[in-house]
Copies of this chain bind each other. A is one copy, B any other.
Amino acid sequence: MSVNTFGRALRFTTWGESHGPALGAVVDGCPPGLAVDEAVIQPFLDARRPGQSRFTTQRREPDQVKILSGVFEGKTTGTPISLMIENVDQRSKDYSDVAKAYRPGHADYAYDAKYGFRDYRGGGRSSARETAARVAAGAVARLIIPQVRITGYVVEIGGDAIDRDNFKTDEIGNNPFFCPDAAAATRWEALLDQARKDGSSLGAVVECVATGVPAGWGAPLYGKLDADLAGGMMSINAVKGVEIGDGFAAARLRGEDNADPMQPGVDGPEFTANHAGGIAGGISTGQPVVVRVAFKPTSSILIPQPTISRDGEASEIVTKGRHDPCVGIRGAPVVEAMMALVLADHMMLHRAQCG
Contacts and interface: CB of A to CB of B under 8 A. Distances in A.
A354 interface: yes
Interface string A280-313: 1111111000000011111111010111100011
A235 B224 contact: yes
Interface in A5-60: 5-6, 8-11, 13-17, 20-24, 26, 28-33
Contacts of A247: 240-241, 294
Contacts of A10: 1
B258 A203 contact: yes
Interface in A94-113: 102, 104-107, 109-111, 113
B245 A242 contact: no
A277 interface: yes
A138 interface: no
A263 B314 contact: yes
Interface string A116-145: 111100001110001000000000000000
A223 B269 contact: no
A58 B26 CA distance: 30
A4 B102 CA distance: 37
Interface stretch (A163-171, A172-180, A181-189, A213-221): A213-221
Contacts of A250: 203, 240-241, 294, 296-297
A62 interface: no
Nearest to A144: B353
Contact of A299 (B13, B240, B259, B349): B259
Nearest to A228: B231
Across the A-B interface, the 5 shortest Cβ-Cβ residue pairs = A107-B281, A3-B223, A231-B231, A241-B243, A201-B255
B28 A5 contact: yes
A252 interface: yes
Nearest to A257: B297
A251 B110 contact: no
Contact of A4 (B33, B79, B253, B258): B79
A327 to B, nearest CB: 10
Nearest to A301: B255
Interface in A178-210: 195, 198, 200-205
Instruction: Indicate the member of A222, A272, A313 with the most B CB atoms within 10 Å.
Output: A222
A23 B348 contact: no
Contacts of A281: 106-107, 110-111, 126
Contacts of A354: 31-32, 78, 114-116
A152 interface: no
A281 B14 CA distance: 16
A216 B272 contact: no
A198 B30 CA distance: 42
